[in-house]
Amino acid sequence: MSLSLNQWTTRQWSLPEAVDGCVRHGLEAIGLWREKVAETGLARSVRLVRDAGLRVSSLCRGGFLTAGGLPGEEGRTAFAQALEENRRAIDEAAELSADCLVLVVGGLPGVRPGEALPAAGFTRDLAGARERVAEALAELAPYAGERGVKLALEPLHPIYCPDRAVISTLGQALDLSLPFPEEQVGVVVDTFHVWWDPRLFEDVARAGLRIASYQVCDYLHPLPEDVLLGRGMMGDGVIDFRPITAAVRAAGYTGDVEVEIFNADVWAADPDEVVATMKARYEQVVLA
């Protein structure tokens, strides 16, 4: 397993700066974000990572597929738009030769991240939202397959179930992936999201080669006010990484290990120091 920098960890850096940073620190892979790719331009981004000899361990992110659960025309339009947007993300992942396109599947239809519940225009139908994800996958998986892109379903910590992901466990992501060929749909194991799951080790083993991405960062305690930023540098929180890494390896995963940290202090720090710390902590607390 080789260390990869998810570029959101050094958010200050543009894509060219992040590519340079990876090379300077001897990393072989980078995880890209669509926003950053758009800023630099797709063609130039492709050239930069290729010229630097970097693997693209993932492209973040597609998803937000559940709005189709809204009633009537609104739902139909939202579903069509989500599919269209995801096809664009798949095309970009293909251009970048990304190992996978990460999908954050979306929350309850009509519930917006971080915003108060609307008086109308949202639904509490959790089971229905999960069915919308399965439907969207059936549309997108063949499209991805034709372009050599693997979709990677990311279960998010249950705290994000209302607004970001109705897929909350690795087992659930895995079950949703099984109807599709392994090279079309896989799952993400992100320690922050799944460390608490009593079925984690069983489901990592069951996932086997469906594991499309292994991402690490720590779970801080207590969480900050904005729970989206509760991700910490490995060793700064409560997660015991070694047994999880060992299980992912035993399942057959040989890909890159991406470090993706959303944290106000990490974002404010000097990116070169962040990468240096990340490398040291990876050796000290993540490797099994």
Residues making contact with its own copies (CB under 8 A): 108, 111, 114-117, 124-127, 130, 157-159, 161-163, 167-169, 171-172, 195-199, 219, 221-223, 225, 227, 237-240, 243
Q: Which secondary-structure segment (H or E) carries 84?
A: helix 72-95
> Strand, coil or helix: what is 127?
helix
| Pick from 181, 177, 160, 251: nearest CA to 214 | 251
Q: Which is nearer to its own copies, 241 or 253 (CB)?
A: 241
Contact status, residue 45 vs residue 15, Cβ threshold 8 Å:
yes
**Taking the alpha carbons of 137, 144, 3, 96 in that order, is the dihedral positive or negative?**
negative
| Pick from 178, 179, 278: nearest CA to 236 | 278
Q: Which is nearer to its own copies, 47 or 221 (CB)?
A: 221
Instruction: Tell me the closest approach of the beta carbon of residue 243 to its own copies, in angstroms.
Output: 8
| Pick from 234, 134, 249, 161: nearest CA to 192 | 234
Q: Which is nearer to its own copies, 33 or 160 (CB)?
A: 160
Query: Residue 119 corresponds to which amino acid?
Result: A
Q: Which is nearer to its own copies, 24 or 221 (CB)?
A: 221
Instruction: Tell me the closest approach of the beta carbon of residue 180 to its own copies, in angstroms.
Output: 18
Residue 62 pairs in a beta bridge with 103
Instruction: Tell me the closest approach of the beta carbon of residue 172 to its own copies, in angstroms.
Output: 4
Query: Residue 42 corresponds to which amino acid?
Result: L
Instruction: Tell me the closest approach of the beta carbon of residue 60 to its own copies, in angstroms.
Output: 22
Instruction: Tell me the closest approach of the beta carbon of residue 244 to its own copies, in angstroms.
Output: 10
Place of tokens 């620190």: 25
Q: Which is nearer to its own copies, 89 or 234 (CB)?
A: 234
Instruction: Tell me the closest approach of the beta carbon of residue 15 to its own copies, in angstroms.
Output: 31
Q: Which is nearer to its own copies, 26 or 114 (CB)?
A: 114
Residue 102 pairs in a beta bridge with 60, 152
Q: Please enumerate in sequence order all residues whose Cβ is within 8 A of that of 9, keeping only pairs 6 or more positions apart, or say none.
A: 259, 260, 261, 266, 274, 278
